[in-house]
Structure 1
Amino acid sequence: MSSPSRPKSPHGVAQKKDDKEESFWDKIGTLGRKKKIKEVQEVQEEGKNAIDSPGNPMAPSLPPEEYALEENEERSMVEPKSMEDIKLKALIAVLVDWINDELAEHRMIVQNVDEDLYDGQVLQKLLEKLTGQKLDVPEVTQSEENQKQKLRTVLAYANRVLGLGRTSPARWSVESIHSKTLVSILHLLVSLARQFRAPIRLPENVVVNVVVVTKKDGVLSHRIVAEEITSTYDDLGVRCERDAFDTLFDHAPDKLQVVKKSLVTFVNKQLNKIHLEVTDLDTQFHDGVFLTLLMGMLEGYFVPLHEFFLTPKDFDQKVHNVAFAFELMQDSGLPKPKARPEDIVNLDLKSTLRVLYNLFTKYKHVN
């Protein structure tokens, strides 16, 4: 059915003239609202031209609305082609499965790392599970301001656990996580997985192209940065050479029990003198107290109580204790342990056994 014809305007010619005049005035910017619209359109067009320029063979196809930036503002996102990378997809899948396994008791299910982690709720529960420490943050936050405040607290704790000081160049921030920047979220999760010896195999050498767009003097410019998310690791995400303990764990669990029994006898020979006893190597050295006292007994001196925490209350105090014990070992002439203090605190049994075995090798004849 044809639509009824509209009556012709008696001012048809004048209307065309007005159109021309409006375009002219828009162009020179004397009409405030239309000028603003025009500026946005021009900025969007500049962004599209900069990104689609034929001079760049890797130019990504990105929506211009992603780049409505303020002056001197910078924004980044993963190049769309990189999102199809098999290794990146595998890494995301492994991390999602790991988080869901850790948080199964909370009945929290993560499906999308950038959409589900930005407000700090999942990260809070994950850190609490990994460290065994309760964070003093509200359980539910609705407003953007409250979400960022919670996220700030959660990330500050994560940075401490990861050994990052205030001046350390972290690859994530409150703004980048809350704005759902995938690369920042992946860097954080990979760091946590490695720190806590997650029982997963991280896909190696995952590299993604990141498009970074900057607005300066009203002009958008962009660059593409190759961002390394993972490198080459062993099965638990740490570079190291295999040793006898790897072989025991993998191929001779019966002999491993014999080694553990021998080490228990060795440490108790010293600790029994001060009425302490070890029954479980897997857990009783993780806070650094027995390790510190053991060093004092082996070297024949009293360790001043003000040098360590006799009853450590949190992760940081436990790390301090183990690091202090490591210092005592080095003072006694032993090489610096290959394990990190955090490894012992995180109940990494191989690391604990390696440290104790080094002590056994040097002090086995001490009465």
Structure 2
Amino acid sequence: MASPRPKSPRPPVAGRKDEKEESFWEKIGTLGRKKRIKEVQEVQEEGKYAIDSPGSPTAPDLPPEEYALEENEERSMIEPRSYDDPKLRELMAVIIEWINDELADQRIIVKNLEEDLYDGQVLQKLLEKLTNRKMDVPEVTQSEEGQKQKLRIVLEEANRVLKQPSNQMKWSVESIHSKSIVSILHLLVALARHFRAPVRLPENVSVNVVIVQKRDGSLMHRTVPEEITSHYDDLGMRCERDAFDTLLDHAPEKLQVVKKSLVTFVNKHLNKVNLDVNDLDTQFHDGVYLVLLMGLLEGFFVPLYAFHLTPHDFEQKVHNVNFSFELMQDTGLAKPKARPEDIVNLDLKSTLRVLYNLFTKYKNMS
């Protein structure tokens, strides 16, 4: 059984009795610093308002010259009322919980997607955790140019992993760094689905996006709907229940019998090349045994250059499982319902479904 997922650390609750109280001298010593901090925060809020409010199409009292837009330039932003949509708020909460659970061992806590992800730091850590591959970027960057450079490297890696066509990308360095919640959510939803995050994303979440354009010196704006999530049929997002769901939920003792039968079946053939399986939960997740098993069942040699015999990262494992699925289809089996990512992510039901299909066809084979 897989070990329980680490949960994200929770910030301490304020007002606990066992907290150490500030001494009189500590309070005196920090008065000036706290005052300066408050002044800095007020200046930052004023600056933020000065930057954001010119771009708001809902502020008709601002003259066009206040907008920092060139002729024919566009600026888009989420309509404020969209933040009140319960489905959008649920999506953001689910995404935040997923990120915090993934990064719990690094003591990283995300509270606000726009404020915590725009500079690329958290995105870097999340992508490294998901791909199990270290990225060559500076750990801390303070300047805006340094943040954008780091974010550019992180997004290039994300786009490579997601195999996202450039004309279909709904995020960019500029949009992420400008804290566009729409772009940030598009990226995170794509990552969650690609790596089969163990969460259920709310379906059919959409927001209204206001697009402002400067034409002939005047500001024109229009509102368009933007779909963030759609209807999902793949495992982990929306799952059609089958016999394995019933076994896992209501008859775990019978599930052990099924697993024992499948272990006997695969070992009957893998033993021919001195391989042995004793744990279905983990030993098929990299795709190697699936590829070799297909070659043994069909009596053909699988060239070693066609798959990764010792896969080192998520992508290589996905390649192996996907290749085994192609071999299954070449031999007349239906395309497996599970995604390769499901197998790699140790989803037991997905592994059982695939192996049971092989068992059904080849169980009488000597």
Specify if TM > 0.5.
Answer: yes
Q: 1:212-234: per-residue Cα shift (whole Å, max 9, x none)? A: 11223433221111112223447
TM-aligned CA deviation for residue 67 of structure 1: 4.1
Structure-to-structure mapping, 1:1-367, within 5 angstroms: 51=58, 67-164=67-164, 166-167=165-166, 169-233=168-232, 237-367=236-366
Alpha-carbon contact 1:195-1:343 (below 8 Å) kept: no
**CA distance 1:332–1:62, shift in 2 (3 Å):** farther
What residue number does 2:45 align with?
none
Alpha-carbon contact 1:289-1:309 (below 8 Å) kept: yes
Q: CA RMSD in A?
A: 2.6
What residue number does 2:10 align with?
none
SS in 1 for 2:127: helix
Q: Which moved more, 1:117-126 or 1:131-140?
A: 131-140
TM-score (norm 1): 0.78
TM-aligned CA deviation for residue 75 of structure 1: 1.5
Tell me the percent identity.
75
TM-aligned CA deviation for residue 156 of structure 1: 2.3
The one-letter code of the counterpart of 2:209 is V
Alpha-carbon contact 1:78-1:209 (below 8 Å) kept: yes
What residue number does 2:32 align with?
none
SS in 2 for 1:366: coil
For 1:91 and 1:153, the matched residues in 2 are separated by: 26
TM-score (norm 2): 0.78
For 1:310 and 1:221, the matched residues in 2 are separated by: 58
What residue number does 2:7 align with?
none
Mark the runs of 5 or more structure 1 residues left unpaired by the alignment: 1-43, 54-60
**CA distance 1:278–1:160, shift in 2 (3 Å):** farther
For 2:320 and 2:200, the matched residues in 1 are separated by: 30
Alpha-carbon contact 1:67-1:75 (below 8 Å) kept: no
TM-aligned CA deviation for residue 251 of structure 1: 2.2
TM-aligned CA deviation for residue 146 of structure 1: 2.3
Q: 1:328-356: per-residue Cα shift (whole Å, max 9, x none)? A: 11110001112222222222222222111
Alpha-carbon contact 2:64-2:218 (below 8 Å) kept: no
TM-aligned CA deviation for residue 205 of structure 1: 2.4
The one-letter code of the counterpart of 1:332 is T
For 1:328 and 1:65, the matched residues in 2 are separated by: 63
For 2:182 and 2:201, the matched residues in 1 are separated by: 15
Q: How many residues align?
A: 314
Answer with 1 or 2: which has the greater Rg: 1
What residue number does 2:46 align with?
none
**CA distance 1:234–1:66, shift in 2 (3 Å):** farther
Alpha-carbon contact 2:161-2:315 (below 8 Å) kept: yes
Q: 1:241-299: per-residue Cα shift (whole Å, max 9, x none)? A: 22112222222222222222221111111111111112222222222111111100000
For 1:66 and 1:223, the matched residues in 2 are separated by: 19
